[in-house]
Chain A
Amino acid sequence: MLEIKNLTKVYGAGKNKLVAVDTISLMVERGSFFGLLGPNGAGKSTTIHCITGIAEPTSGQILIDGLDVVKDYKLARSKVGLSSQEFNTNIFNTPEQLMDYMGGYYGLKKDERKRRIDALIKRFDLEKHRSVIFQKLSGGLKRRAMLGRALVHQPDLLILDEPTAGVDVAQRKDLWEYLKELNAQGTTIILTSHYLEEIEYLCNEIAIINHGRIVAEGTKAEFIQGGKSVEERYLEIISNENIPLTQ
């Protein structure tokens, strides 16, 4: 589904040069639920930005279903849905408008858009808020509206960058079940989160990125072997990047 080959992303030049992502390679199989972990500033969001077209890779290649995200960008992007960490939207639009415009950008016809929007608004319990401007929504409602926007065109690859930040426990659990459902239906999901229990519950593959490099990668089973939790393993790896994943 997704193949990243030697991706490097450098911001600035000279004294201001920052290597945000340094020759990383990753493979995400179709149907997998992939957790991308790392501390703040490790390179998770930059990697996601390069996959989705928000940033342009400095070097390397990213393929989505064999389509190069730079050369075949239109086809590649049509397969991806993104729920960003930041609320990167027009705060004066309503959840319904967000989904409507996004569905339109992805080429969905009016009837199809309406059907998808109605279903997503119902699923995310946004009925009472569908015509309220984004700025006036609570943090949890904003997250759900962003998710609806990412899902309106039924992407094959769903990328969720901190999708449950600011969401209360009950809603988070509900969202987990929904994401499991989506994944079971065949949607490949890449998830970044600082809630490691979320990663442990949802993901079957995990990679850890730190200082712009992949420092560990494997299945969840490999991560939690020896009775350790993902969180314990994560802290161990981050505190000493030289420890190999499987010993």
Chain B
Amino acid sequence: MNWIGLYTLLRREVERTFSVVIQTLVAPAVSAALYLFIFGTVIGSRIGDFAEVPFITFVFPGVLLLSVINASFACASSGLYFMRFSRSIEELLIAPLSYFEMLIGFVGSAVIRALIVGGLIVVVGMFFGAITLVAPIAFILYVIAIAAIFALLGIIVALWAENFEQLQVLNTFIITPLTYLGGIFYSITFLPPLAVIITQLNPFFYFADGIRSSMIGYSEANTAIGLFVIFGLLVGLGVLVGSLFKRGWKIRA
């Protein structure tokens, strides 16, 4: 294992995150503060408590999930696509790094960015008094697993995209709608029966529910199904991206 090479790949991506802090850290914090103010403070004050916690506390895991997903996906997709676009990917191709090390490097750096952003959002949540944490280890594992899933999706999009517009396609037409319709800002008990069934088919519902249950101890999904969905996506996408790297799809001529 080329540990120094892997560390360098991670370090480079973290340095990239800190070289554009307004885009990578400040913007998600501002968005989270706005979500918490509108959904938590303004609307939440009319709703009162839900699931035995203030509505802002119920909503916070969804706000956090949204930020983690965006941070991880953007880091992996923009980082790798820019490397393809500028051909600086060749720096990695000629280096003694294995496909597995490249995979760990790209996913790891996206997870690190997601954790940094997530930490920042938790700090914002503290200002709004929206934080409770009933299962810290499960919480961290959920955040890491979900960030890794979206890092892998970001890599696939970065490999597939032929221009900057295509880079946004998955995010705009799949990730964003499924995120908002996955119960991140509401309980499925607010929905009509058919919408509940549809929501239960949405994997994002299990992401939100996992984080929410580890934070406030309230769950609306079957935990076993949730873990199966998360673990299945992680393994399935990991194998797919590993094989794409090994084949050198769109990166090796």
A-B contacts, CB under 8 A, total: 79
B 72-104 binary contact with A (CB < 8 Å = 1; else 0): 000000000011001110111111111000000
Is A88 interfacial (CB-CB < 8 Å)?
Answer: yes
Nearest B residue (CB) for A102: B91
Q: Which residues of B contact A80 (CB under 8 A)?
A: 94
Is A187 interfacial (CB-CB < 8 Å)?
Answer: no
Q: A105-B5, A109-B4 are in contact. Are A90 and B90 (CB under 8 A)?
A: no
B 233-251 binary contact with A (CB < 8 Å = 1; else 0): 0000000000000001000
Give bound CA distance, A96 to B91, whole Å.
15
Is A165 interfacial (CB-CB < 8 Å)?
Answer: no
Nearest B residue (CB) for A77: B96
Nearest Cβ distance between residue B247 and chain A, in whole angstroms?
A: 9
Is A91 interfacial (CB-CB < 8 Å)?
Answer: yes
* Residue from B5, B94, B98 within 8 A of A54 (CB atoms): B94
CB–CB A55/B91 < 8 A: no
B 2-28 binary contact with A (CB < 8 Å = 1; else 0): 111101110110000001000000000
Give bound CA distance, A197 to B33, whole Å.
65
Is A243 interfacial (CB-CB < 8 Å)?
Answer: no
CB–CB B90/A54 < 8 A: yes
Tell which of B7, B86, B91, B92 has the most Cβ of chain A within 10 Å: B91
Is B224 interfacial (CB-CB < 8 Å)?
Answer: no
Q: How large is the interface on A (under 10, 10 to 19, 20 to 34, 35 or more residues)?
A: 20 to 34
Is B194 interfacial (CB-CB < 8 Å)?
Answer: no
Nearest Cβ distance between residue B37 and chain A, in whole angstroms?
A: 35
Q: Which residues of A contact B83 (CB under 8 A)?
A: 90
- Per the 8 Å Cβ criterion, residues 81-119 of A in contact with B are 82, 84, 86, 88-92, 101-102, 104-109
Nearest Cβ distance between residue A139 and chain B, in whole angstroms?
A: 17
Tell which of B4, B87, B252 has the most Cβ of chain A within 10 Å: B4
Q: Which residues of A contact B82 (CB under 8 A)?
A: 90
Q: Which residues of A contact B94 (CB under 8 A)?
A: 52-54, 77, 80, 82
Q: A101-B12, A101-B91 are in contact. Are A106 and B96 (CB under 8 A)?
A: yes
Give bound CA distance, A149 to B92, whole Å.
13
Q: Which residues of B contact A194 (CB under 8 A)?
A: none
A 34-69 binary contact with B (CB < 8 Å = 1; else 0): 000000000000100100111110000000000000
CB–CB A78/B8 < 8 A: no
Nearest Cβ distance between residue B159 and chain A, in whole angstroms?
A: 16
Closest 7 CB pairs of A and B: A104-B8, A105-B95, A55-B253, A88-B87, A78-B96, A88-B90, A74-B96
